[in-house]
Structure 1
Amino acid sequence: MRPAPLTAVLALAASVTATAITAPAASAEAHKTVGLRVASYNIHYGADSGNVFDPARTAEAIRAMDADIVGLQEVDVRWSDRSEFRDVATELANMLDMYVSFAPIYTTGEDGGFGVAILSRHPVRSAENHDLTRLSTQEPNPVPKPMPGFLEVVVKVKGTPVHVYTTHLDFRSDPAVRAAQVRETVDIMADDCSPKGKCPAQVLTGDFNAGPDAAELSPLWSGLTDTWTASDPGFTYPAVTPEKRIDFVTVSDAFTVRNTVVPQALASDHRPVLAELALRRHH
């Protein structure tokens, strides 16, 4: 098992053989696209709804999804005694034989922090920890200010660059900070586009702390598609008896959505969401 490189602790310094398809048109189409399984999972620092810390259980829930890329939220890296001051990001990567990038929102003096991460089967070519407006949970009287914790990585999938982002939006009932974060997210993602408006393949995952119809999320839908298309509500929170859909995989028009599911995993206080995508390849 290769050691999983922690490619971005940013702000801390950051075959199965395919079945033959005989129809020529289908075969040609298959060569133009490549499948990609992407998940988003708020892992609650590796603890379930009862606060039982067990990162091996978290890893098993992720392994069961067989995802190529997983955006993680609420990730501890030598952060506190609740996670035994362990590097949960690297441990998960090692158990799953995946690459990992970590982007802290908050940091400690021992190269640790709490934030978001991305696991990938594809090597990470670059990573960046972007600032968003936040209200700190570590200060007694916080005021909105730019803080890190919006992670972007670039991977190549069969030669096509894919920009993958993961975020954890503000949880408060007042949507003002969340609305600011969404506007900033749209701007950051637009920065990856050319002056002529040609954008790379983009995937945004995250715990948005709002439902798909929330007004503050509406700017996202001008350039991204919510992958959830099933008739059922797709609730992800709370994990035991979910009644809200606040966890998302969203994609740019470089992707076609084949299927999206909410696995019945109970390793966290959230359930993950898993999207099966088809990426149009560059030639």
Structure 2
Amino acid sequence: MTEGAIKVASYNIRKAVGRDRRRDPARILDVLNTLDADVVVLQEADKRLGQRPAALPPRMISDHTDFVPAPLATNAVSIGWHGNAVLVKRGIEVTGCTRIDLPFFEPRGAVAVEIEDRFRVVGVHLGLLRRHRHGQLRQLRSILTERNIPTAILGDFNEWSRLEGMEELGSDFHLHMPGPSYPTVRPTGALDRVALTHDIEVREKGVHMTELTRIASDHLPVWVKLTLPDGAVRPAVSAVG
């Protein structure tokens, strides 16, 4: 971690199924290790059927990365909730976790993780229809603005328009699109986005495009490097040799 900054990323891992139709969690973990992020928000981190077992087995995460899943799951086999998970680098303290129900017919949810009581990271995977996304964003904004803390919302917003669709976040957040991230074969849609409260400064942002990320999922990871209002959270302590 750079002094005074924190790097956060978002990645729709498609349940670890790549463009070659192979489910390969080790390949996703290799991508995570190259992101050099302090916090990573994942979408489609759990499978959809049954108890929703993790697409990234926790033991593999522990053995092969510097990350720890935030305690968001409601059972012993998932790492997230409604497919949304948050991985935090070892040495950064998680001080709170919240699961947020989002409205409309297709079951959706969001997750919120507080870092050291001073920064909140929210993971989302919004619905396919814009009218549903509007309601989900209204719900999210209503809940998040109840607590005044620097907040970053990251995830797959499923919005193709660069000018419309995010109005429900209102004046409380400003939107950043690091770049086209979908589909990996020829990225044209900036579906993966970041919304920030106005007390957070963006230092850098980008899309992580490599030979590996172009095949590991149908989305590319996006990232932002942020400065919090009173400095970054404590640097993480690397635990991977």
Give the one of 197, 204, 213 matched to 1:252: 197
Within the alignment, does 1:101 sit opposite 2:70 as a pair?
Answer: yes
The one-letter amino acid paired with 2:70 is: S
Give the alignment's Cα RMSD to 1 decimal.
2.8
Structure 2 segments unaligned to the other structure (5+ residues):
232-241
Percent of aligned pairs with the same amino acid: 27
- 8 Å Cα contact 1:89-1:102 kept in structure 2: no
- In structure 2, the residue matched to 1:164 is 121
Residue 115 of structure 1: SS of its match in structure 2? Answer: coil
**Shift in Å, 1:254:** 2.2
Question: Is contact 1:103-1:149 (8 Å) kept?
Answer: no
Contact 1:116 1:151 in 2 (8 A): yes
Amino acid at match of 2:164: A
Residue aligning to 1:153: 113
Distance 1:97 1:272 in 2: 18
Residues in 1 aligned to 2:54 and 2:86: alpha-carbon distance in whole angstroms:
17
State the 1:50 CA deviation.
2.7
Amino acid at match of 2:128: F
Q: 1:76 to 1:203 in 2, by over 3 A?
A: same
Residues 58, 221 of structure 1: alpha-carbon distance in 2 compared, 3 angstrom cutoff: farther
Flag as ranges the 4+ runs of structure 1 deviating above 4 A: 77-80, 110-114
1:135 equivalent in alignment to 2:105: yes
Tell me the distance in 1 between the aligned counterparts of 2:112 and 2:153.
9
Contact kept, 8 Å, 1:99 with 1:124, in 2: the verdict is: no
Q: Find the counterpart in structure 2 of residue 31 from structure 1.
A: none
Which residue number in structure 2 is paired with residue 30 of structure 1?
none
Q: CA deviation at 1:123?
A: 2.2
Output the CA distance in 2 between the equivalents of 1:89 and 1:167: 21
Q: Note closer, same or farther for the CA distance 1:235–1:78 as it changes in structure 2 (3 Å cut).
A: closer
For the pair shown, the structure with the greater C-alpha radius of gyration is 1
Report the alpha carbon displacement of residue 163 of structure 1 after superposing the two structures with TM. 1.0
Does 2:23 match 1:53?
A: yes
More strand by share: 1
Structure of greater relative contact order (alpha carbons < 8 Å, 6+ residues apart)? 2
Distance 1:180 1:46, change over 3 A: same
* TM-score normalised by the chain length of structure 2: 0.81
Q: Which of 166, 189, 209 is the equivalent residue of 2:158?
A: 209
1:191 aligns with 2:191: no
- What secondary structure sits across from 1:48 in the alignment? coil
Indicate which of 87, 90, 98 corresponds to 2:58.
Answer: 90
